[in-house]
Chain A
Amino acid sequence: MHFAEEVTAGFFFLAPWIVFAPVIGLLINIIFGNRLSERMIGSVASVASGVAFVISVLLAYSVSANHGEVVRWQLAEWIHIGNLNLDWTFRVDSLSTTMMLVVSGVGTLIHIYAIGYMHEDVRFKNDIPRFRRFFVFLNLFIAMMMILVSGDSYLMLFVGWEGVGLCSFLLIGFWYELDTLGRPSWANSNAAKKAFVVNRVGDFGFLIASFIMFWALGSFQFDQVFEAAQGVAPGVVLAITLFMLIGVAGKSAQIPLYVWLPDAMAGPTPVSALIHAATMVTAGVYLITRSAPLYMLVPQAQYIVALTGAITALFAATIAVGQYDIKKVLAYSTISQLGFMVAAVGMGAFVAGMFHLITHAFFKALLFLSAGSVILGVERGHHHAEHAHHTGKHTKGKGKKKEEAHAQGHGEVFDPNDMRNMGGMRKTMPVTFRVYLVGTLALAGIVPFAGFWSKDEILLDASLHYPFIYLLLSIAAFFTAFYMGRQIWMVFFGEPRHEAAAHAQESPRVMTVPLMILAFLSVVGGALNLPFEGFHNLGHWLEYTLEEVEALPLDYGVAGISTVLALAAIALSWYVYGRNPLRAGEADPLKRRLGALFTGMEKKWYVDELYNAIIVTPYVRISQFLADVIDWRFWHDWFHEKVIAGTYNWLSNIALNRYADQRGIDAVANGLGDFTQWLSVTLRKIQNGFVRSYALSVLVGVVLIVGYLILK
């Protein structure tokens, strides 16, 4: 790694604008957005993201022009306390520019797509002014993600880490008062809360790792940490890396903290594509790659990371087989593919992991956005069919199937995400079908699509060094191809199982053009790191940042096995789902054959229920106990009411009022008055008007005085 002593040629001074551009975009939308049209709002946001992309390109170019020298561009001082010196510095090297390009590139395409998607979504949900809020949040996310990938220290990275967690919460709960079907419910806000809370558990791990880092190594800044790590006991580095793994498990949805990601599908589909497929969830992979020097010191931690990734990959892939919601399949697929990435970087194949991160961003964003297109198409069909009913133009009696489907369209809640309602979409939505097919083939790992090259590299590395991991990943790859095939047959082939699917309409160009661009990238993305002599472009690029890069040539054995597995899985999916397409109201054919196994897969192996029973319910009960019993009944009702208030009332009422005041002071005062009255009553009797008694009094007085004078 070489450092630039001073910033030489290049566009490094533009570095802060990768953050500022999206921030300016969101500020424009916040301040002026209520006066702008939807097109303007979306364009402002997309341009802001696009500017960030352009700057990322320029930064990448500058890095390559400088032969990969790392440039640290300081923006501002931040914390200078005691031994801690932390600044807001942008780290521009090959690894961070790679992430910047992915985030801003895919992000801009998703922004453009979202203009079309949200235009329809806010009309389906009946809240048109909320359009603006979506793009404010999206830009905020891009800004935060940029802070994450360009940070020069673990703490700056954490600022972005938390920021993207916040944006995830805001965007998952975008329709916070509804559920995915548009009914008033807690469902969406619960999903957002779950994402945030589970992420917090991961953040806890990250923070502990940072604290250990500062305490043992004295800094947060990457280079200082990596240097100091060479000299401490391996146990310290082991602790740091394992706690960091908890953070990765939270953010990148690995076992045991993956449970938020399927629920996060409650958010609008562009959110699922951007945050929960292409960018935020890859932050964990980026973190491990960035911390490569730490992980290389502790092979045990590496194995644990790789194992976590591989087990997650297989586990999530099995769940994906049993899902009916089109987005849930993709969500579990994401978890599974993240498992692949985490396994790769755990094994030390950082280039393979990053390569898969990039290609996955392409085809998973493509798949999610296409799924969004499908969902909107079905929604359009649903509304179109309802309108047709209301205007009486729908012809009845055309076969039993149509009547069954017709009956389903009335009076019951319609789930546009459910694949059991779809079918035959390749005729109604041809463009979406074609790009979806490209994405599927890329994900399944069919040569020459992008996914094949990146996944194959991971499998190759695993086969050489970690055979058990290789086994797990291969089985996961088999499942991957199977469930994607299942999805294709269920959604696009056969006959529509609901009139909404029969009336589905293709999406507008503002949505399909980004899809086509992503499809193109999914086809040619493999060129980034072809495993042939003279290529390995990404490897060479990342070599500037990472120390050891093992550039492996293509192994036809491993590639062959993985291709055979993928093709076999697709063939099997055709046999189960494609040969006899599902009809309306039919159960999944696997349910009959696998029975309880399929139910387990469908019910996500009851992990959420397990967490609920072990963690959530006791926690809620404890907090209810603390609130109701300890806080209210004990503290408030007894202590405050009886003890404190009672004592005070006793003091003031009984002690002071009754005894001191009434019986004490009042007695004296009243007694004085009474005495005076008695005295006057008594003395009044003397004045009786009788002269003789007056004369007697005079006599008595004279006698007394004279007597006194005489006797003195």
Chain B
Amino acid sequence: MVPVNYYIILSAILFTIGVVGVLTRRNALIIFMSIELMLNAANLAFVAFGSLLQTFSGQIFVFFVIAVAAAEVAVGLALIVEIFKSKRSIDVDQMSSLKG
């Protein structure tokens, strides 16, 4: 069997890459993709532990996460489309109207 560590490390790496992507990329779609990556990293971790602990809870939770991720993407993409309509750009650095 593949040791669960490998899955966890893979999850961590994936998560880190996702975080870095959220923090450093300016394109909103890329940020969303990075968020999806983070979510999927979490999914992987859930499944790995579910397999380790011989329980279905992990996999059930992944369902929830996927559903939430889908909903979130739908809303997020709708927001980006609206923003693009007014700003003609999806560069997050340009969305600093809330700057104090």
Interface residues of A (CB under 8 A from B): 684, 687-692, 695-696, 699
Contact = CB atoms under 8 A, between A and B. Distances in A.
Contacts of A691: 92, 95-96
Nearest to B93: A690
A44 to B, nearest CB: 103
B54 interface: no
Contact of B97 (A689, A692, A696): A689
6 contacts: A687-B98, A688-B99, A688-B100, A689-B95, A689-B96, A699-B19
Given A699-B19, A699-B23, A692 B100 contact: no
B93 A687 contact: no
B96 A688 contact: yes
A287 to B, nearest CB: 107
A687 B22 contact: no
Contacts, number: 31
Contacts of A684: 100
A689 B92 CA distance: 10
Given A687-B98, A687-B99, 19 more contacts: A684-B100, A688-B96, A688-B99, A689-B95, A689-B98, A689-B99, A689-B100, A690-B93, A690-B96, A691-B92, A691-B95, A692-B22, A692-B24, A692-B26, A692-B92, A692-B93, A695-B22, A696-B23, A699-B23
A695 B92 CA distance: 12
Interface in B64-100: 92-93, 95-100
A239 to B, nearest CB: 105
Interface residues of B, number: 13
B23 A692 contact: yes
A158 to B, nearest CB: 98
Nearest to A690: B96
Nearest to B96: A689
A688 B99 CA distance: 4
Interface in B2-44: 19, 22-24, 26
Contacts of A699: 19, 23
Contacts of B99: 687-690
A599 to B, nearest CB: 111
A669 B22 CA distance: 45
A684 B99 CA distance: 9
Contacts of A692: 22-24, 26, 92-93
Contacts of B96: 688-691
A689 B99 CA distance: 4
Nearest to B24: A692
Contacts of B100: 684, 687-689
Contacts of B22: 692, 695
Contacts of B26: 692
A699 B23 CA distance: 9
Contacts of A695: 22-23
Contacts of A690: 92-93, 96, 99
A696 B92 CA distance: 14
A689 B93 CA distance: 8
A420 to B, nearest CB: 112
A689 B94 CA distance: 9
A692 B92 CA distance: 8
Nearest to B25: A692
A493 B18 CA distance: 150
Nearest to A693: B23
Q: Name the residue in A684, A690, A699 with the highest tally of chain B Cβ atoms < 10 Å from its Cβ.
A: A690
B92 to A, nearest CB: 5
A689 B100 CA distance: 7
B3 to A, nearest CB: 21
